Amino acid sequence: MDIVFHEGTKQFHLFNDKVSYVIGIFPNGEPGLLYYGKRIHDREDYSYLINYEFRAMMVGKPDNEVFSMEMNRCDYPSFGTSDLREPAFDITYENGSRVSNFQYVSHEIKDGKPGIPGLPAVYTEDDAEAKTLNIRFKDELTGMELILSYTVMRDHPVITRNARFINGGDTSVRIEKAMSLSIDLPDRDYDWIQFSGAWGREKVPIERKLDEGITAVRSMRGHSSANHNPFVILKRKNTDEFQGEAIGLSLVYSGNFVTEAECDTYRTLRFMTGINPEGFSWKLDPKEEFQTPEAILTWTEEGLNGLSQSIHRLFRKRLSRGAWKEKERPILLNNWEATMMDFDEEAILKIASKGKEAGVELFVLDDGWFGKRDDDTSGLGDWYVNTKKLPGSIGGLAEKIHDMGLMFGLWFEPEMVNPDSDLYRAHPDWILAVPGRERSLGRHQMVLDMSKDEVWDYLYERMHSIIEEGKIDYVKWDMNRTISECYSNGTPAEEQGKVYHRYILNVYRLYEKLIADFPELLFESCSSGGSRFDAGIMYYAPQTWGSDDTDAVERLKIQYGTSYGYPISSIGAHVSEAPNQQTGRITPISTRAAVAYFGTFGYEMDLNKVSDEEFSEIKKQIAFMKENRGLIQSGDFYRLLSPFEDNYCSWMIVSEDKKKAVFAYYRILSEPNSAHRKVRLKGLDRDRLYHFDGSEYYGSELMEIGVEITEAPGIEWKTPSGDFVSGVFVIE
């Protein structure tokens, strides 16, 4: 790993064992991306990659018309000069001009990777793990400065990027667009994969061929959203799960975003991501700075599984932080589907006690413990314990839960408020709403204006007080509606374009402060399920509720899609009751657990109401998870059969030393007289002998011949016949 600067050519080469990233300063002083991809040899001069040519309708420098930014690969393209594709940034100056001319001034190369104040980012624990390049550019006419930051990681095939704008002039400017990363690739021969959906059906992989024009996903919802995710893959046409070139682009941000690919008519491709410019406008006064979020580029030639595994390792080891970063996550029991908001202390203790008997380690009290909160129409925002339900307050209940030998967790939805609440009656100006216009409701609630420091102060004081009183071990942080009517009361008109971004910065600040106060606290992010499941939130909460849809069949798709860009340890996955509350489907409890094992495992039910037979099964499931969760949450994950393409789904996780694996397959619907079907395993040592399903096989056999997963006619199958069946096997 190194960053080499060639003084004579003003070119930078960032590389590690896997990738190279070559930047050159173009004749006009702007940065160009000369190469990105598989590691290449270093050399003094890559200028042969700069295009000098004359084309009709092309514009260039006054003294050099054969050089044009339009015909070259830019690294952070500007607006309005000789490059007329989508710009990475857009600044409006005092005179109304939007043309900038940032020219190279200087650079610095440092060991390690600095953090980004107020924003989540990949980090290092040792300066030897990374090198960082900061390149400074200046627009002499306006005094504006731009610092582009690049980090190459030693142990990961990753380049991280961010940008910082500094107003060194005498007048205010307005930043209308500021991408975190933009790269130009020399051809467009890629397929685009996005991860889209909606509540209850999150992260469906959608693949399309790139062609002339712009392909994009974005959020305008105030959070990253279940509809489109800020993670996108570009893959070569012949790339599959286990071979071929692919690029992953992750935005480390939880608010409005855009990720887009622009194919021009010269067959080149521009790929960028950052804060969505729609609704964004940042007035920058003299001496002020604006910092973009971080973006992460991951490259592989080992297929989509190889790409995912690289991202999983990076996120587990160098994005998640704190006491729970790589620690085995506790098996939890949540009361929500058991009681909703209709409970008292006696009912809660009875559920928790049964959970302890089953082997559960963490009990979580969900919505309904505060204010006048018997349904979702009132009380939200009144973060004071309802002592009619909990006579001993949170502290009394928590003490009884802890005395059982259980950890205690609590649900919050800090960013929202009901109109029927004491908080709203006292502070109607604390919500996001446009004066004189109707105020939209979602789930009977409005959005608190988190861009206001006084709102942050109230939420911090209440959450800190309750967490401290109950010695809380776990917090489920929910957000159950999107932002509409994004207007901050009392904020000047010229500052309204900052509200969306300030909102998410204060969400991050609240997380950061509570983590500092309670470093052993485990956070799980939730946004009506997976609507804020992104790399940004993983910096604060190492796990996120995968979806409110707990149906095992639907969860196969949700967890399969999520695994492309996020580690298994980050996916909250629970066993719930049947018929399922979201779909009405009845699936065996064995299959519900077989899906939920591949995530952070728990239960959403009253275990007092299950049969003796099911309770015995639940105890076995918990014992299995305790035995294998270390491997499941930290091993290499392989997708084997896609539920989006087949009646079957299969995946497996292999330990780093390849001595142990957990393999699972699922048949969704029964098939009469079905054909023989084998699935080839992956990631094992070819020459080792493995114990599998009562027999012994070499790794080469399991990977090249495979495992039979269909029901042979006339032969009793390993698992029950019928719909929604599964098999989970430990391979050693």
The two structure tokens encoding residue 715: 């032969």
Alpha helices in 359-428 (DSSP H): 393-403, 422-426
- Residue 548 annotated to the active site: yes
Spatial distance between the Cα atoms of 526 and 302, rounded to a whole number of angstroms: 32
Out of 83, 139, 184, 478, the active site residue is 478
Instruction: Tell me how far apart the 2 most distant CA atoms of the chain are, in Å.
Output: 86
Coil vs helix vs strand at 364: strand
Q: What is the 3-state secondary structure (H, E, C) of 104-160?
A: EEEEEEEECCCCECCECCCCCCCHHHEEEEEEEEECCCCCEEEEEEEEEECCCCEEE
Beta bridge partners of 25: 31
Count the Cβ atoms, other than its own, within 10 Å of residue 721. Answer: 10
Which are the contacts of 520, defined by CB distance < 8 A and separation ≥ 6? 323, 473
Are 184 and 75 within 8 A, CB to CB? Answer: yes
329: which DSSP letter?
P
Are 50 and 32 within 8 A, CB to CB? Answer: yes
Q: How many helices (H) and strands (E) does the chain have?
A: 12, 38
Are 684 and 690 within 8 A, CB to CB? Answer: yes
Q: Among 421, 412, 416, 400, which residue's Cα sits nearest to residue 467? A: 412
Spatial distance between the Cα atoms of 465 and 472, rounded to a whole number of angstroms: 10
Q: Among 412, 411, 498, which residue's Cα sits nearest to residue 449? A: 498
Strands (E), 168-245: 173-185, 191-196, 204-209, 213-218, 231-235
The two structure tokens encoding residue 160: 């991280």
Coil vs helix vs strand at 619: helix
Coil vs helix vs strand at 609: helix
Which are the contacts of 615, defined by CB distance < 8 A and separation ≥ 6? 358, 607
Beta bridge partners of 204: 196
Angle at 73 (CA atoms; ends 69, 79), nearest 5 degrees: 45
Q: Among 311, 266, 76, 99, which residue's Cα sits nearest to residue 184? A: 76
Count the Cβ atoms, other than its own, within 10 Å of residue 459. Answer: 21
The two structure tokens encoding residue 29: 């002083």
Are 299 and 280 within 8 A, CB to CB? Answer: no
Q: Give the H/E segment covering residue 661.
A: strand 661-667
Are 199 and 531 within 8 A, CB to CB? Answer: yes
Beta bridge partners of 664: 651, 728
Out of 83, 139, 473, 548, the active site residue is 548
Are 552 and 504 within 8 A, CB to CB? Answer: no
The two structure tokens encoding residue 557: 């798709």
Q: Among 398, 410, 406, which residue's Cα sits nearest to residue 475? A: 410
- Residue 366 annotated to the active site: no
Are 192 and 217 within 8 A, CB to CB? Answer: no
Q: Is 7 exposed, middle or buried (0-12, 13-18, 19+ CB in 10 A)?
A: exposed
Handedness of CA 418, 420, 426, 429 (dihedral sign): positive
Spatial distance between the Cα atoms of 602 and 329, rounded to a whole number of angstroms: 10
Q: Which residues are part of the catalytic machinery?
A: 478, 548
